Structure 1
Amino acid sequence: MTRQVKRAFKYRFYPTDEQAAELSRTFGCVRLVYNKALEDRTRAWYSEQRRISYAQSSAALTEWKKTEELAFLTEVSSVPLQQALRHLQTAFGNFFAKRAKYPRFKSRKKSRASAEYTRSAFAWRDGKLTLAKMTQPLDIRWSRLLPDRAQPTTVTMSHDSSGRRFVSMLRTCECGAVHDRAVNAARNILAAGPAASACGDGVRPQRESSRTGRSSAKQELQRATAETSRRQAGGKVKLPSTPMHPTPLG
């Protein structure tokens, strides 16, 4: 049975002035849409105990674009804005399921600037990536090659506090191999050289011992044993606390 595995490949890129300006506008619009939708959801929940769905937020976004104040939202690709609403929906789902804390507003200075593009918002031809609203492909520094015939399904653009710009490409592998979940799998594949397949089938992780001198496998076993003992002893899992009403956007 073929098993689909999603793998991400991250690279630095160097945009032109026009591309940098377009990405800067997109980052700002993504942050604004996320925060405005979060403000609406927060107001509805604390004043009426009413939940707002993704569909309702998406409909609200359409109305925002029609206003004179937020008409500039139409100047950037609509896909990253919709993806911001989807991420907010996921955040609320995790909150109500007691898997995470209440979603926070994104800060221009403290939060990582990012924008996610799905297939309808970028072109991938001959190993070159061109985003929506752009006429030229990005200047990507390929620190490692993508597997042959790889087709990215999602690309995420980001900009850190040091001014470095990154693109993360997500692709789906359908090789049928049983992939290892080790975080250092990419390093092991590169170390294996040409003998490794494109997806890393057959490459096992070379786990290093930690500063305690014990292997990672033994540490994981000890943690699992301790967790089981704690639960049997009647320990309670700490659930997220109810958040305070966040400060509305100015």
Structure 2
Amino acid sequence: MRKLCLLALFCSPLAVAQVVQVESNSFMRLPNTTSTLQLERLDVADYGTLLIPANVTELKVDELHLGREARIAIVPTGQSLELRVQRAQLDSGSQISSRGAPGTFEKAPKPGRNLNLRFESLKAETLSVDARGGAGIPGYVGLDGANGEEPGCTWGQAGRGADGDNGGNGRPGAAGAQVRLELPRDFPSEQIKVLVDGGAGGLAGAGGKPGAGGKSKGCLVYRTDGGKSGRPGAQGQPGPAGEAGSLTVQRL
């Protein structure tokens, strides 16, 4: 049955399926062939994860169940996602996550994905949504200093080691998401846990190591002293946190 449902999701421009079920301790990715999906039932069992790809912008579900520690993970992108659920049961530790991706030396961090979540009926100990921004790019590590030259027996003295370069500064974290919740009037406010903090700033780059001084050398006539080592490079500064997002709650 599950294979038939997934086949329907792949083939229809406005995908409609009977049931999509993610088994316990497993991972499933929705197809990226359509931007709008409509499901009669979505069941993510205990410790399971359902991934919603970046191109999906609207998901309608008649009945949603998230088991213990189950996750709906949403790929971050510039387009917001609208999730409309008629009846939802969210077990302990379950979460909806649209957290941004951390930055790397090749890619900038991504902000949390904006969400419009509507639950017409909701049973949950906690409605947990993580829409924080991605962490910033770490600072570059400073280059190590070169070692000093060794002396000869007939000339000069040992060379001093070069100083290490300073580490680079971390880059700013990405912004948190804009989250809008539409919830039943009787769902307690204290059971809403939504994180929209900006991403942590990138870690400071470590300073380069100092170069070693040239080694002392004993000769027949005299002995040359060793050169002094260089100084280590200074550590960079951590990057600033990203801008916080926002949360809007509307009661149905």
* TM-score normalised per structure 2: 0.18
> Which structure has the higher relative contact order (CA within 8 Å, separation 6+)?
1
Higher strand share: 2
* TM-score normalised per structure 1: 0.19
Higher helix share: 1
